[in-house]
Amino acid sequence: MKTCFAVAAADVLRMGSALAGLCMVLAGCASFESKPIDPQVEASKFEAQALGPGPWDAPALQRAAWQRHPEAVAAEARRKVAEAAVITAGGRLNPSLAGVIQKNVSASPGAEPWTYGLTLEIPLEAAGKRASREARSQWLALAAAYIETDVRWRIQLRTREAYIGAYPADELAAQRLDTLDALALETQKRLEAGLVSSNEALQTRLAARQAALSLEEARRRRGEALRRLAASIGIPERAILEIDLSYSDISSDSLRDAKTLDALAKSALQARPDVLAALAEYEASQAALQLEIARQYPNVSIGPGYSWDAGDSKWSLGFALPLPLLNRNRGPIAEAEAQREAVAATFRVVQEQAIAEITGALAAYRQTIRTLAIAQAAAEDTKALARSAELAFRAGATDRLALLAVRLEAITAESTQNDLMLAAHAAAGRLEYALRMPLPPTSPTASKESQP
């Protein structure tokens, strides 16, 4: 009797040691830490954001937007979620440990009534299911990384367009208004002297008032652009009004030659992150189909066990194998096949949209560059006329009214050239976004623009 009790005590000690080891493993598990979000605190953090005084050009503002804008932060978070899913997919199935204690209340007097049992179940995945899960999650993580890059390009486009929209074009509008005011005053003097008709004087006054309205509209548009610029970076409007916008990168000389962009457009289609993301999602759908096909084959579980049965030590080895008699995973396989076709169709849509976007952006840029060249030539001609009019006025060969008229024409031509230059830079930004790569520098010594 003492011998049986000693054996039982030893077995219980071994079971206790196993449970103690299990407790030690569980002690290394992660713990939950609550991180509540306080909307008021977040709003206060946003209002406190600021940029350095500058000067700031478009690439510097774009870098700030990549770091601060909530869309960029959210895209980065989604990428990290997808990367964490790779760890989940590569995890192995845990074994399970089961124990049992029984007492035989009908045992004969003097017989040991207790039975102790311990079983370990070890699951074994078949048909490469784990590898297929890992492949699918890795493709999805790659797609999330490409999508993050695409989001950054979208933020870059919005930032650049708002930056160009905030260009101080109202300075030329103010010059035009001053010239028209002077022209209206000179015409009024001539009206009083009986040298012009009242209609001519009225027309010059109306033109001056229209120029005043145009100046206010230009200031309104610039204010809106500054607000959009602040939103594109992810800072309050107050912060954008505190910085110095240099616009050193906005000039006709910094525009790229459209003739050199054909090769870039051809290679860009193979490198656009949205196209690569769609392609990665297609590969993930293929891995998902492969996983569902592998799930036709059941997993096997083996279960070695030990029991101390009324004084007798017993070892056992069992196994479990689900029988695929009623369900061969046909439904999930059909869904995965359909999903693969849907993702393939989505890829074709994305690719064709990319081709159309690149073609359209390149054509628009070329057209804008050609129009700008014509406007530049016209502006140079009007500047030459204005210089000649200045010399003629000083020599007494022309009057002040004619001089003001030529000045107005020169300012108008310069304003048109300036508007087309800004339009060309905006078209260059849209072309960069269509290509999803920076345009080549204008010269070997030009600084290389930043890219996501």
Max Cα–Cα distance, the chain, nearest Å: 142
Instruction: State mean pLDDT over 65-70.
Output: 88
Q: Which helix (H) or strand (E) holds 101?
A: strand 96-103
| pLDDT score, position 139 | 97
Instruction: Give yes or no for a contact between 218 and 169, defined as CB atoms under 8 angstroms apart.
Output: yes
Q: Token pair of 293, please?
A: 């096909």
Identity at 130, one-letter amino acid code: R
Burial call 276-307: b when 16+ CB within 10 Å, e when fewer: bbbbbbbbbbbbbbbbbbbbebeeebebebbb
Query: What span, in angstroms and rounded, lies between the C-alpha atoms of 61 and 76?
Result: 19
Tokens of 119: 């079983």
CA distance 243 to 286: 50
How far is 318 from 305, CA to CA, in rounded Å? 8
Indicate whether 112 pLDDT > 70.
yes
On the question of pLDDT at 433 being above 80, the answer is yes
* Cα–Cα distance for residue pair 421/353, rounded to 1 Å: 28
Per-residue model confidence as pLDDT tens digits over 188-198: 888 888 887 88
Domains of the chain: 2-9+52-435 (1.20.1600.10)
Q: What pLDDT, in 10s, does the model give residues 219-261?
A: 999 999 999 999 999 888 888 888 888 888 888 888 888 777 8
Cα angle, residue 386 at apex, residues 383 and 390 outer, rounded to 5°: 140
pLDDT, tens digit (0-9, with 9 covering 90-100), for 5-63? 344 445 544 555 555 555 555 556 778 888 888 788 878 877 887 787 778 889 899 99
Q: What separation in angstroms does the CA of 113 have from each of 38, 105, 279, 314? A: 61, 7, 66, 16
Cα separation, 113 vs 8, in Å, equals 11
The closest of 99, 257, 240 to 162, measured between CA atoms, is 240
Which tokens go with 405? Answer: 């008229």
**SS3 of residue 260 by DSSP:** helix
In this prediction, residue 1 carries a pLDDT of 40
Alpha helices, H only, 193-261? 198-233, 237-241
d(CA 199, CA 205): 10
pLDDT at 164 over 90: yes
Higher pLDDT, 137 or 4: 137
| pLDDT reported for residue 368 | 93
User: Could you give the CA distance from residue 274 to residue 153 in angstroms, rounded to a whole number?
Assistant: 10
- CB-CB contact of 150 with 277 (8 Å): yes
List the Cα angle 253/254/260 in 5-degree steps: 100
Q: Which residues contact 303 (CB under 8 A, 6 or more apart)?
A: 119, 120, 121, 122, 316, 317, 318, 319, 320
**Per-residue pLDDT, 2:** 41
Q: What is the pairing mode between strands 300-309 and 114-124?
A: antiparallel
Q: Is 119 helix (H, G, I), strand (E, B) or coil?
A: strand
Relative to beta strand 96-103, strand 312-320 is unpaired
The closest alpha carbon to 245, from 224, 263, 230, belongs to 230
pLDDT band for position 156 (cuts 50, 70, 90): very high
Query: Distance (Å, rounded) from C-alpha 93 to C-alpha 301?
Result: 11
Contact status, residue 287 vs residue 139, Cβ threshold 8 Å: yes
- What contacts 95, CB < 8 A, 6 or more positions away? 120, 121, 122, 123
d(CA 308, CA 99): 11
Tokens 């003001």 sit on residue: 404
Residue whose structure tokens are 């999803």:
436
376 vs 371: CA distance, rounded Å: 9
Q: So what's the pLDDT on residue 83? A: 95
